[in-house]
Structure 1
Amino acid sequence: MKLNKIHQDLKELYEGKERLNTILGVEFSHQEEAKIYTKILQIGQWYVAPFSFETYNSYAIKLSPNKKLLESPVCLRSRGDHSLFSNNLANFLPMRQLRMLDTSDFVQYILDDWQLLEELSLPLRQYTNSLDSLEFLKEYLHNDDKLIYLENPSEYYTKVYLDFWNHYYNTQQQKEYVELMNSMIKDKSYLPDFEINDYGVWNTRAYNAIGQRAYTLIDIETEKKENQFWQSFIQPHGFDAVEFDFGFIPYTTSSSFQLDTIISKFIPELGYFSKMKNHPLYPVGQILSKNKSSYTGDAHIEAAKAIDELNDPIMAWDALVSAGYWSGVNFGEPNMNAWKAAIDLSEKTWLDRD
């Protein structure tokens, strides 16, 4: 089955190649790929493009109307939600190797099969014009100072994880994200002063973490935390949810569960979010607060239309993603109006760029 162009291209490049799962950690073909992808579409997740599979999970490119596929981040899909895995497809394989380094035995395993790793990764490295993408991994595994960390992953894996991300996503946004998370992880009472920052591919996870931290600080009045709650709420639902006790390493948890705390603040009788009452997404929060489990996503579609008229196509897209998410969570089927609106928005946004 042709899921999308990138999946089809990689499937053809890797046709007949063996030991992909044991060396690369993923397959580009799956005996039930049609069933897996059909299920993804049936629950309304048109906003990702799956391209590789593990036994139970899959990896997908996170779609956005203002980014080309090869420039878009890759997410791990597990139990219906998504968590950020790599900043783009070019860095997917070294990040997949990083995932195996949380067990000390895999260091020698990777080194013993290094030649085969280079051989099997070559088609993807050529496809993404990233022939040198394994060099950092190779140097890391041959560095005696780094081996100290790799021999004790239970204690140092976060250090290794950040070393890889700081290299493969060497941007100002990455530095600011690490600084933010470091501050909140080291000090459980720390809540940053509110400001709108660009954390790049980490935007959703950063604002979800801030929102969760704000909720745990019961000594601070809700009115003084509304901006933090709001920024978490307006992120695309279904991506990079975090729980109260968060760390650097993402794991797939439920946006529906995480948002409970913030949605509860939208109960009309409480009178919160007075500064946001004129925002198109404000009524969505009130609808969700009344009965989250029966929400269809329609209010997000109406909000997206209004947001698009305000010339913010990315926020409009995120609202449509959220519409698709809730329809899938609550009813196991797509919201076709959200899907159609996303296509129209994407076509218009790309046209504007051209």
Structure 2
Amino acid sequence: MKIGCPKEIKPQEFRVGLTPHAAAEAVANGHEVLVETNAGVGSGFPDDDYIKAGAKIVPTAEDVFAEAEMIVKVKEPQAVERKRLREGQVLFTYLHLAPDPEQTKDLLESGVTAIAYETVTDRFGGLPLLAPMSEVAGKLAPQVGAWTLQKANGGRGVLLGGVPGVGPAKVVVIGGGVVGTHAARVAAGMGAEVTVLDRSLPRLRYLDDVFGREFRTRYASAGNNAEMVAEADMVIGAVLVPGAAAPKLVTREQLKTMKPGAAIVDVAIDQGGCFETSRATTHEKPIYEVDGIMHYCVANMPGAVARTSTIALGNATMPFMIALANKGWKKACAEDAHLMAGLNVHAGKLTYEAVGVALGLPTISTDEALKI
């Protein structure tokens, strides 16, 4: 199979969909790898690394899309990229379709088979291709939140860990999954007073058992949420409903109860965000203010640490990519229900129910998709 990796063109996105090690693995399995020139430079991988791995460097993205049978990326295809997709081609990348009707429409019209990293599952009920970036984003969230809190950026001017005689910042993390756990650990490590809110009692028990007094936990009822948000210097949104739009857990009315200059970090922004006032931003202009509250809503947070993120993502996606290339997408998905869970679009049909519900579109089952 011809596997193509174009350079990412989303603003301030420095990751790359294919590492040289992944390219070498694909070549060793008998596949041809096409990489757009300079695609890996932002992650510290020059073209020579890919050439040594056996890949072919091609001059333009148009060449990659025109020749490749499978496109491997990081971020969802941008409008100009979607025009290059064609019927019968496989697209393997993050999609986040639920809050993105335009992308969904274009993918359906293209006839492409689109498999989304964020909905591939594992036997433990986890999301193995989302987890590495969730870990990165979770660890970054307190770091960027601390920067947002600085007075020069419009924040309260509060130091996360405080100093002797001055108390630490209060950080509230909504969601105790992968993102929330890593965010809480880092914020606590920076000296903040941290509380994690979650609706799963088993998860709260797990966090208490594993992390003890490192941070506190509370049940995420509407009343607790409102109380904790009002007291917080920083609120980190870390709620995920796989493949679906993120629930809005903090309303604009609740912003009025928050301390002036408090910071919101919405890690769920890829799925539409879990704050009513959230809108996607970029690393170039990451923060904005609403009602005196500073919002950090960068939609590709892990892109800020591109090398770490690219290697972590490549480690996770490589086995699935090789399976798709070795067997073809239909056989690979038929033999692996967890990979099948990643199928979102095929031959003009939507195949992921949560996306259909979010966008009001009809869906077909993945079993039906295999027959098309």
Same fold (TM over 0.5): no
Structure richer in strand, relative to its length: 2
Structure richer in helix, relative to its length: 1
Normalising by structure 2, we get a TM-score of: 0.25
